[in-house]
Structure 1
Amino acid sequence: MHMLEFFGMKRLGMTADGYVLETPVTAEVTQPDGILHGGLSALLAEEAASQGARESIDLLTHTAVGLDLTSTHLLPVHVGDTIRTVANPIRQGGRTQVWKVEQYRKSDGELFNVSQLTVYIKRIAPRG
């Protein structure tokens, strides 16, 4: 099982807003006090930014690898809510890309997390 399935993530892909994921918040992804575990916020941020970066490169010759992730939690998220993760490039060029990721509670539209991911665009051996 891929982690997308395990966590219930749904890829909406590139939209006018950026690269978008939606994920339900279940009891399995909360801290003991019942709020969303920050590790899942970070995982979702890296997933959205990495997938966005992958859409901008030739996957036959390159891959996108996360180098640095910062994540700031602003508000709690509770079981039953859904997370909307939106990633947008700040810089795309050369061998590095920088992506800003914002996460919102769908219940009230409030921004609850802001992250930034630096991605290395790595050349790979041609496939085939």
Structure 2
Amino acid sequence: MIMDKAKILERCNNLTRNTLMETLNIEYVDLGNDFLIAKMPVNERVHQPMGLLHGGASVALAESVGSAASMIFVDIDKYEVRGIEISANHIKSKREGFVCAKASLIHKGSKLHLWEIRITDENNQLISLCKLTNMILPK
């Protein structure tokens, strides 16, 4: 990696100001050579009317962490990242606590990145399983 872990996480978290990620309290917390992890609290801000984690909030978390992960692997002065497809399977419901989304790289091409995003709770129970395809475009 070009920069150290702390600087990359700080850069990712600074990019969330005044965005949906800030509204949902998404925080980037860990990364490695082929993954990025973000954390989001589960509370009334991300509930659907039945008091459960909204599937849309889970998908927003997944796309946020997968897109940020792609940004880590490209020169953002030369390239832009665009999510072009996302799919999600919601496995288990969640009412409170937090969830973590780990974006793991499946394919890193020059024009497309493919990510698997596993959303788990604090007990490492699988909540949602997502797949995200990002297109890498020259600026």
- TM-score, normalised to structure 1, is 0.90
The 8 Å contact of residues 52 and 95 in structure 2, kept in 1 or not, is answered as yes
Following superposition, the deviation at residue 46 of structure 1 comes to 0.4
| 1:44 to 2:61 alignment | yes
Q: Which residue of 2 aligns with 1:122?
A: 137
- Could you list the runs of 5+ residues in structure 2 that have no partner in the other structure? 1-17
The 8 Å contact of residues 17 and 86 in structure 1, kept in 2 or not, is answered as no
- Could you list the runs of 5+ residues in structure 1 that have no partner in the other structure? none
2:73 and 2:119 map into 1 onto residues whose CA distance is 22
Q: Which residue of 2 aligns with 1:111?
A: 126
Amino acid in structure 1 at the alignment position of 2:127? F
The 8 Å contact of residues 62 and 117 in structure 2, kept in 1 or not, is answered as yes
- TM-score, normalised to structure 2, is 0.83
RMSD of aligned alpha carbons? 1.4
Q: Which of structures 1 and 2 has the larger relative contact order (alpha carbons within 8 angstroms, sep 6+)?
A: 1
Amino acid in structure 2 at the alignment position of 1:82? F
Aligned residues: 122
Following superposition, the deviation at residue 6 of structure 1 comes to 1.4
2:24 and 2:34 map into 1 onto residues whose CA distance is 23
Residue range with higher mean Cα deviation, 97-106 or 6-15: 6-15
Following superposition, the deviation at residue 7 of structure 1 comes to 1.2
1:54 and 1:98 map into 2 onto residues whose CA distance is 13
Tell me which of 104, 108, 124 is aligned to 1:92: 108
Amino acid in structure 2 at the alignment position of 1:76? S
- Where is the helix percentage greater, Structure 1 or Structure 2? 2
Tell me which of 90, 96, 99 is aligned to 1:73: 90
Tell me which of 75, 78, 84 is aligned to 1:61: 78
1:17 and 1:97 map into 2 onto residues whose CA distance is 11
